[in-house]
Amino acid sequence: MKKIILASKSIDRSEILKRAKVPFETFITNINEDIYKVKISDAHNLVKELAKAKALLAKKNFLDDTLDAIIIAADTVVVLDGEIIGKAKNEEEAFNILKKLNGRTHELITGIAITETNNPKIIDDTVTTNVQFINLFDEELKLYIKNGEWKGRAGAYSIKDKASLFTKKINGSASNVIGLPMNKLFEILRKEFSFNLFQLEDSEF
């Protein structure tokens, strides 16, 4: 059976695969995202290019290897009123981001890229989910920020944790909001790589 490599350092993406009982190994990629943000202003193109860059970087690591593996990479941004919002660098930025999103509906866009170690083909796509927040007082936002969930997360929140308390509505893929659209992953693997996640044996978990 092929191995699956997740080209991401995201704990959330790892947890999604574990929850779905998908065996995988992690390869941490370090991409200078700022270079892409300067060149690409469209959110869908930006996350696709970042996901592809991560996938190809991971693939390059295994060029001289006989490993037969599928490589999965993803990148996520939040969009509000046409503004692309990424990760906060500190608590002040996290507060400013959440203040913008407070009481409103924003788009969460994830780009996903999939390739194989022994196959030149790479498939990429995007998934968009609309997320609506209730109104919080400034002090509540500050208390939320203190727990540290904003770190390393697009939009400075984690829907699987305390941000669920102020999430009013999700329209679209819930797993996408966490960072990895599982339905899109399943579709691409099945259609483009003839690999069905249902084929995985219990013994592989």
Three-state SS string over 98-147 comes to HHHHCCCEEEEEEEEEEEECCEEEEEEEEEEEEEEECCCCHHHHHHHHHC
Is 124 one of the annotated active-site residues of the chain? no
Instruction: Return d(Cα 184, Cα 196) in angstroms, integer.
Output: 12
The single residue of 42, 68, 75, 81 carrying the catalytic annotation is 75
**Helix 138-146 / helix 91-101 crossing angle, nearest 10 deg:** 130
What's the sign of the alpha-carbon dihedral 92, 150, 144, 82? positive
In this structure, the strands spanning 167-171 and 25-26 are unpaired
> Would you say 68 and 2 are in contact if contact means Cβ atoms under 8 Å apart?
yes
- Is 17 strand, coil or helix? helix
- Is 89 strand, coil or helix? coil
Which phi and psi (to 5°) does residue 90 adopt? -155, 180
Closest CA to 187 of 128, 131, 130, 126: 126
| Residues noted as catalytic | 75
